Every structure is written in structure tokens, then in C-alpha cells.
Amino acid sequence: MIPNQWYVVMDSSQVKDKPVGVTRMGEKLVFWRDDTGKVSCLWDRCVHRGVELSKGKVVRGKHLQCPFHGFEYDTSGQIKIIPAQGWDAPVDERFKVRQYPTYEAHGFIWIWWGQNPPADLAPPRFFDDIDADFIYGKIYDPWDAHYSRVIENQLDVVHLPFIHHNTIGRGCRVIVDGPGIQWVDDDLFYVYVYNRVDDGKPPLKPEAVPVPDPTRDYKLEFLFPNLWENRISEKVRVLAAFVPVDNEHTLLYLRFYQKFLPVPLLGNLIAWIAMPFNRLVAHQDRRIVVTQVPKPSALKMGEKLIQGDRPIVEYRRRRQELLDSSES
């Protein structure tokens, strides 16, 4: 995982009125809401005797209380009250567990995964073309794969007629022209797909495909470190958040957005009806991706790549740059 980044880690609906313990980024974490509804995140381990804080409860409207001895943590991870020493007794500042900054928007919860976040930490980004008019359905899907492999699968335009021969890859469009790549900025790029039936002509080089047009209806978008969008049309999107559980497991948070039917109840029904098909397509991928070795991808790993793998190369290159910069 790339340190010092905002990662989508949960759906907002997963954290309600009780603490929730999950594994993310290879770490056991606890999420809870204070009496204002704000989500906080700490390591799920009491510094006193090592029990899971997620088995505790929220007290005083803002403290997370350890279930073992009643130690109370504030949202910064600092223990504020040790009952055995007196409710008003001062607590040494060393009694503290690691905390991660959180942000909640668009029905997602992010954490800034790193140490020593800057004082002027900017909020995470989201896709500008998904507005409040969209209605969505959603699923969460576990994959026994490193999150980088799941991301690369969604950037892979070569596999469509093979893995998805009876769904989204119908038509046997095996020739991959380009593909077209457009970097919007350091953390966002578009992929334009130009697949066609084999007519005996070789694939066009990337510089020979049509100039990418940001207003074109169909394109893939990837936003570092773990958000992807399939912009199917002006009124239809598929979105994926690739949530790292650990080095061998990922949760795929998949959404289908639509606004061609804006009526709330009926629109929600349509969005949810679309999810079984999206799960089917994802499971066609999952069956194969979980077999890839090594589990995590890397910029240089001995694979023999082809021109059609250009989006994957772009992802790996930028990912390596971010990894290198986090170590400097």
C-alpha cells in the first residue's frame, strides 16, 4: 500500500451507533461515531492490556470506552479517563493509540493512511462528474487478491472478449487499438477503449488513435489510490473502490449509478436491479485474478507486457513514483 494517501475504506452505512472493528491496510482498526455523527478511526487495540476496543462502547457522547477496564479514548486516540485512578485524575500523554484522520462524503468513509499528517491536510478527491442527481445501488465483494491486481483488472482492456465473452465482452473485439490515455493531473487519468473485431489490420499505435476527448461518453477513469469509474454514458456510471484488507485480500465496493430515471423509489429499484449483473461480471474477473502471482503487482516484475497493457503500465509507473516519494 502507498503511505500518506486518502483511501476509501468503508461504506458510510457500515458505521452506525456502535463501534465497528475491521481489518484494513493490514491493520485492525475500529470506527465509531460521536454524538455529532462524525466518524473516528483508531487502532483496534487498547494500549493497556491489548484487547479490542471495538468490543467496547461509546460513552459521554464522544469517548470510546475499552470493555476490559473502562479506559476512555477521545477521537485523537488519547486516553482521557482511567477509572481505577479516579475520574478526574490526569492521564499521562503516553497512554495513546494510533489514530487516522477520517473523511466522509458520497456515502464513503476515507482514512488518511500514514504518520504525521500535515496540519493543512486537504480532503480526499472524488469524481467531478458524479453529482447528487445520481441514484446508486451497491454491493461489497471479497477477493483473495492484492488490491493492486484488482485495480489492474479494471484497467485491462485486453481481457474483455475472453473473460466476459457472454456479458460485456460480446462481439469478439480482440484487436486493441491504442488504447488512449489522458492524464488529467498527477493522480487522475482517463482510459479510452478502442477495441474492434480482427480484420487483418494490426492494432493502431497509441499516437494514431483519436485524440481523447473528455466529453466523450465512454471512458474509464482512475483516481489514486483506489477509486475507479466506468463512464458508460452521460447518465450511467459504474464505480469501484478497491479497499485493501491486507496483502492478499481486497474488498471490492461496487456501485451502479443512474440518473436516466430520477424518480426516487423507482430510480433506486432500477439501480439495485442492476447489481446482480454487475456482481456476475465482477465474479467472472475474480475467478481469474485470484490466481495471479505474485500477489502484488510492481513496475518491474518480469511480466511480458503488450501494447494493449498501456493503462496497466501507466498505473504501475505512477504507483511506483508515489511509493518512492513516500520513502524519501
What pLDDT was estimated at residue 49? 94
**5-113, superfamily in CATH?**
Rieske [2Fe-2S] iron-sulphur domain (2.102.10.10)
What pLDDT was estimated at residue 315? 97
Cα 123 from Cα 132, distance rounded (Å): 18
Cα 70 from Cα 78, distance rounded (Å): 14
Cα 190 from Cα 186, distance rounded (Å): 12
Pick the CATH number of 135-327 from 3.30.70, 1.20.120, 3.90.550, 3.90.380: 3.90.380
Helix (H), strand (E) at residue 269: helix 264-273
The residue among 47, 44, 20 whose CA lies nearest residue 33 is 20
- The position carrying cell 482492456 is 157
Q: Is the peptide bond before 179 cis (omega within 30 degrees of 0)?
A: yes
The one-letter code for the residue type at 49 is R
What pLDDT was estimated at residue 39? 98
| Cβ count near 15 (within 10 Å) | 22
pTM score, whole prediction: 0.94
What pLDDT was estimated at residue 214? 63
What pLDDT was estimated at residue 99? 96
Q: Is the peptide bond before 67 cis (omega within 30 degrees of 0)?
A: no
Numbers of helices and strands, H then E, in the chain: 5, 18
Give the contacts of 128 (CB within 8 A, at least 6 positions apart): none
Rounded to 10 deg, the angle between the 147-155 and 275-289 helix axes is 110
E-assigned strands of the chain?
A: 5-11, 20-24, 27-33, 39-43, 57-59, 63-65, 72-73, 79-81, 99-100, 102-105, 108-113, 135-143, 175-185, 188-196, 219-223, 227-233, 236-246, 249-258
Domain ranges of the chain: 5-113, 135-327
Query: What is the DSSP annotation of 34-61?
Result: -TT--EEEEESS-TTT---GGGSEEETT
With vertex at residue 170, the alpha carbon angle to CA 196 and CA 139, rounded to the nearest 5 degrees, is: 120
Q: Which residue ranges of the chain lie beneath pLDDT 50? A: none
What pLDDT was estimated at residue 223? 98
β-strand pairing of 5-11 with 20-24: unpaired
Q: Maximum distance among all alpha carbons in the chain?
A: 82
